[in-house]
Amino acid sequence: MAEQNFVDYVKINCRSGKGGAGSAHLRREKYNPKGGPDGGDGGRGGHIILRGNRNVWTLLTLKYRKHVKAGHGEPGRSNNRFGANGEDVILDVPLGTVAKDAETEKVEFEITEHGEEKVLLAGGRGGLGNSNFKSSTNQTPRYAQPGEPGQESWKILELKVLADVGLVGFPNAGKSTLLSVVSAAKPKVANYEFTTLVPNLGVVNYRDGRSFVMADIPGIIENAHQGKGLGLRFLRHIERNATLLFMVPADADSIKEQYQILLRELLLYNPELLDKPRILAITKSDLLDEELKQMLRPDIPDELPHLFISSVAQQGLTELKDMLWETINAHRKAQAEKEEHRAWRQGWYEEEE
Determine how many CB atoms are found less than 10 A away from the CB of residue 137. Answer: 5
Residue 254 has a CB neighbour count (10 Å cut-off) of 11
The per-residue pLDDT for 352 is: 59
pLDDT at residue 2 tops 60: no
Confidence of residue 263 (pLDDT cuts 50, 70, 90): confident
Q: Out of 1.10.3720.10, 3.40.640.10, 3.30.460.10, 3.40.50.300, which CATH number does the structure's domain 163-341 have? A: 3.40.50.300
| pTM more than 0.75 | no
Of 160-169, 192-201, 293-302, the one with minimum mean pLDDT is: 192-201
Range 187-203 average pLDDT: 56
User: Sign of torsion, CA 226 231 235 236?
Assistant: positive
Most confident residue range from 37-46, 288-297, 342-351: 37-46
pLDDT for position 77 = 92
Comparison of pLDDT for 28 and 161, the residue scoring more: 28
Q: Residues of 333-353 as b/e, b for ≥16 C-beta within 10 angstroms?
A: eeeeeeeeeeeeeeeeeeeee
Decide if pLDDT at 189 tops 90: no
Contact 169, 175 (CB under 8 A): yes
CA distance 158 to 99: 7
pLDDT tens-place string over residues 129-187: 998 999 888 888 989 999 999 999 999 998 877 778 888 888 777 788 888 888 876 65
Average pLDDT rounded to a whole number, residues 270-288: 86
Phi (first) and psi of residue 204, to 5 degrees: -95, 120
Average pLDDT of the segment spanning 23-40? 84
Instruction: Quote the strand ranges of the chain, DSSP E.
Output: 9-15, 26-29, 32-37, 48-52, 67-69, 89-93, 97-101, 107-111, 117-121, 152-159, 163-169, 200-205, 211-216, 241-249, 278-283, 306-308
Domain ranges of the chain: 3-159, 163-341
Decide if domain 3-159 falls under CATH 3.30.420.40.
no
